[in-house]
Amino acid sequence: MQETSSVNSPGASDIYSERVLVLDFGSQYAQLIARRVREQHVYCEIVRHDITAERVAELAPKGIILSGGPSSVYEPDAPKCDPGIFDLDIPVLGICYGMQLMCDRFGGSVRNASAREYGHAHIKITDPTDLLAGLPDETDVWMSHGDQVEQISGLFRPLASTRTCPVAAMRHVDRKQFGIQFHPEVTHTPLGSQILRNFVISICGCEGTWKLGDFARETIARIREEVGTSRVICGLSGGVDSSVVAALLYRAIGDQLSCILVDNGLLRKDEEAAVIAEFSSHFKTDLHVVNARERFLKKLEGISDPQEKRKRIGYEFIECFKEEAAKIEDAKFLAQGTLYPDVIESGAAVDGPAAVIKLHHNVGGLPAELGFDLVEPLRDLFKDEVRKLGIELGLPEDIVWRHPFPGPGLAVRCLGEVTEEKLAVLREADAIVVNEIKSAGLYRQTSQTFAVLLPVQSVGVMGDARTYDNAVCVRCVDTDDFMTATWSDLPYEVLARISTRIINEVKGVNRVCYDISTKPPATIEWE
């Protein structure tokens, strides 16, 4: 199977003509930095920390950002960047570890701080120009460091300080090279976007060419050129990624698009009907619906291990997809909803970090023996950009803003063995949770909301009779990036309505709990 690659050569397109590179030193915020830069309408991509200066020069970025990271620069095996990068006459911004790296490179000193700073801090700005232009004399920032700059060389001058950190920001006296000890990319630094804007727009000279409307037009033109008169197959799940891919393809090639929806019996309530209605009436695509409920449930009989569930569901999905795809004549291409975080975390980016965080289901997820060339029109986009693109393409808001749904479906929210009876209970409970969150006007304010059917039963009393029925747990989280998440502080009256409705309306449930675990240490899904 052949993959279509991201645009990795400078000048390939106007929207990519301005780019900023983030050198990743293992920061949990690397993707967030890139997203914040893109909010300034400047294309930003994450590359490995040891990328060569020669390769950087080839990519011709307008600016370079050195990310934070968990290491200490004075350790023997601490990750370092190619020192030649500082001699490329390209503006550089070092964040936290990145700042310490710059300081170490130019003869300053970094030490383990006696007073570490984690969380909110208050900085005093002594030089409100360039990087810190437009900021008040004092402002709040978010710190997360155990090391700090002890002394800077004569090549740098300080720009700001905190009570315990004498150099909270600095700049090179001759070059456009800056360092900040705090994190401007997180929302806990209220004026962080202004700082990044100062760097990207004012210092790097970017004009803001990265616009999703232009991305849509250029991607549509590229798909038409690549596909020609061939047919493209797109797998639908009802989620935002596959829906946006299908909408983009439909704009590009019209009736050359064939969509396949595999009903594995693990979908949410009325999900199959909603997808069929949307993609057979609104888009009028060639839609193939595979009813595979029985074969999936058969494969899951007696299986309670979460990983084994996922493996069996994944394998059976591929078999179903292969069988249906073989019925579609002249199909040469397969479209997938691969996103930029998928590419980064799977190690599939050409210049990206080498470490594989996860074997993602979207990146090369379908086997090569399917015999299709791969089309991945979203592989340069973050999730929030995909949603905005969906709006640009005219998709309904209820699809664009739909909460994420796991690939294995309700199987990983039905703990223990999966049966038709248990799925029916879970499906009804989940629909009530989502309905009440929407009715309260909280659906867009929360990031993911669902019900989990627990593998336990408890004693209850209903109508003066003793019951011994199922327990349902409600999970609702808030997150910017799904790498970390906090549980949603839902109003008590909303939780009360959810609990009352589930117990009264879903036969077989007599207890409802609310999950107040953060990620980490918990995950968002239960399995």
239 is in an annotated binding site: yes
CA distance linking residue 24 with residue 263, whole number of Å: 40
Give catalytic status of residue 319 as yes or no: no
Block residue for tokens 């499906």: 427
CA distance linking residue 266 with residue 419, whole number of Å: 10
Q: Give the active site residue among 185, 271, 324, 385.
A: 185
DSSP H helical segments within 228-330, as ranges? 240-253, 271-277, 293-299, 306-325
Is 233 within 8 Å of 366 (Cβ atoms)?
A: no
DSSP H helical segments within 14-114, as ranges? 30-38, 53-59, 97-105
Is 142 within 8 Å of 186 (Cβ atoms)?
A: yes
Q: Under DSSP, is residue 252 helix (H, G, I), strand (E, B) or coil?
A: helix
DSSP H helical segments within 66-185, as ranges? 97-105
Give catalytic status of residue 96 as yes or no: yes
CA distance linking residue 94 with residue 148, whole number of Å: 13
Q: Under DSSP, is residue 145 helix (H, G, I), strand (E, B) or coil?
A: strand
CA distance linking residue 454 with residue 193, whole number of Å: 42
Within 8 A by CB and 6+ apart from 350, the residues are 5, 6, 8
CA distance linking residue 471 with residue 499, whole number of Å: 11
Within 8 A by CB and 6+ apart from 465, the residues are none
CA distance linking residue 97 with residue 66, whole number of Å: 8
237 is in an annotated binding site: yes
For residue 519, what are its two tokens?
Answer: 């990620």
Give catalytic status of residue 513 as yes or no: no
Is 123 within 8 Å of 136 (Cβ atoms)?
A: no
DSSP H helical segments within 401-449, as ranges? 420-439
HSE at residue 24, side-chain half, CA atoms within 13 A, is 23
459 is in an annotated binding site: no
240 is in an annotated binding site: yes
Catalytic residues: 96, 183, 185
Residue list, annotated binding site for ATP: 237-243
